[in-house]
Each structure stands twice: as structure tokens, then as C-alpha cells.
Structure 1
């Protein structure tokens, strides 16, 4: 073995021997790469997409009038947003929202169009007239440690 390793870096030889020992005694599980790819994909999904929970679809609207309402809650584990969506008489939608973090910028977007709102006291914000359609909410928040990050919801129907 000494002759085949002549001229090689002693550290490289040692690492090769250690690697061979571990491959023999404790080989890597056959599905480890697939499991790691899946774990990274799930972690990336949780970063890009927040949890969407349908909290309530109002059945009182049928009794009280012809307006449709929905309440949606989104959370990424650090920031939570509650949205109440109401159909208005002109066919547009009113979106009332509450965010539990310091919001620096709030935007709702649809197919290249975007509307801005500002958070008031207790994190409340509103969009008075949004056309119906698939929408996405983006909020730049400041965390408790002063860092900024973008909170983004998956698409939802307004």
C-alpha cells in the first residue's frame, strides 16, 4: 500500500482510507439523496408559500343579502395575517386585513396589477375596491430582532 500512495498528499491518503472504512462499516443509506432533496424542497415550499387555512365562509350572507364573504388566515410560523373579503355592490371586493407584525409595506397583486395599503393601529389594513380574481398578498415585515423579510401568501380568490 505504501508504494501505491507514493507521491500523494498524506492528508488525501488518510482521508481516502477513512472514507473507505466508513463506506465499509456504515454505508450511506440508498435513499439518503432522495430524502434530502425532498427535505430541502419542503423547506423551500414552507418559505415561499405560507399556510392557508380557510377559517370561515359566511352563511349569513345568504340570509342578510347577496354579498359573499370569506375569512382567510395565512401564517408562515412567524407572521400571521387574517383577511376578510366582502363583495361590494359594484362587483369589486373589499379586503380588510390584520397583520400581527410591524408592516413596512403591504401590497396585493393580480396579473401584473398591484394595489398598496398601509397598516394602521393594531396592524389593520384595507383595500377598498379590488376586482375579483386570483390574488397574492405581499407584506414586508420587521421582526422582533429588527430584521426585515417578505411575507407572501399563496394565490387566493378575491
Structure 2
């Protein structure tokens, strides 16, 4: 019998490799999980207010038969509503509204390409030609020091 303090040998390595292979087969890691974790942890500002997602039903897009996705995020200081629609070229158009309204810097962080804009006086903003993938909205409400971020969503 070997002591638990003894150095690992080839038998130990084989047993651990077998266990890893067993779990990889029986319960594999979900595709993209590591990328999702890295993306969510890679926050620029540690003092962020995280908005909660409020589920809504899909709604018909104006003037066509395609469906758009409506998502609302709510936090103590800000509500963010976005409509996601697929463009003909496969990119995504994101129309958004902020409450309280005002000119607020808005950033869409993705694993492919970040985009930034500023909402208008009514709190409306548009980000077009967004590449599908994991994304997170970051809003810096004007006149506050608190940054609001959404959970990571799949576009």
C-alpha cells in the first residue's frame, strides 16, 4: 500500500487519465463554456451594477414575416430594452431603449468585435451589423458613477 504523500507514479497518472476520459464521455463540457466564462469574467470595471433579464415573448418585426427577439434587462438604476433582428447578411441589428431616457454611452461587448454608441435624448440607440455570438451591453448612465451591465446573452 502506498502512502498518500508518495509522489505520483505512472499508475496514478493512468487512473487519473481514465477518470478524465470517463467524465469527458459521460458528461462532456458544454461547447463554448470556457469562452462564456472568460467573457463574463473579463469585466473592465469591477463596480458594476448587473441588470437582471426579464423574459418576454418573441414579437413580429415591423413590415415582414421574420421574428425579432425582445429582451428587457432591469436594474435598480436603469432599464434596458433591446430588439434583436437578423439582417439579410446574417449579422444582427440591435435596437435599444434606456429608461430613464437620456444621452448615455452604450457599449456592446462581444467575443468578436466591440461596438459603442450614445443613446439619444429619448434613450434610443441602434447597433447594426453585429456579428452573432456571445454579447453583453454596458451602459454608463450620464451623471452617475455606476456602470450597468447585462448578463451575457447569445445573439
TM-score range, shorter chain: 0.5 to 0.7
2:136 equivalent to 1:136: yes
Q: How many Å apart are 1:105 and its aligned residue?
A: 1.3
Match of 2:153 in 1: 156
CA distance in 2, matches of 1:151, 1:48: 5
Match of 1:57 in 2: 58
The 5 A counterparts of 1:107-118 are 107-111=107-111, 113-118=113-118
Q: Please list the CA deviations of residues 13-38 of structure 1 after superposition, one character each: whole Å capped at 9, or x if unmatched.
A: xxxxxxxxxxxxxxxxxxxxxxxxxx
- Equivalent residues of 1:103, 1:140 under 8 A apart: no
Q: Which has the higher helix share?
A: 1
TM-score, reference length from structure 2: 0.61
- Equivalent residues of 2:49, 2:147 under 8 A apart: no
- Equivalent residues of 2:112, 2:133 under 8 A apart: no
Q: How many Å apart are 1:121 and its aligned residue?
A: 2.9
Q: How many Å apart are 1:120 and its aligned residue?
A: 1.0
Q: Please list the CA deviations of residues 96-155 of structure 1 after superposition, one character each: whole Å capped at 9, or x if unmatched.
A: 00011334311001116210111113100000110111100001003xxx4321010000
CA distance in 2, matches of 1:53, 1:147: 24
CA distance in 2, matches of 1:51, 1:155: 11
Larger radius of gyration, structure 1 or 2? 1
CA distance in 2, matches of 1:103, 1:51: 22
CA distance in 2, matches of 1:91, 1:118: 24
CA 129–112 in structure 1, closer or farther in 2 if over 3 Å, else same: closer
CA distance in 2, matches of 1:70, 1:92: 14
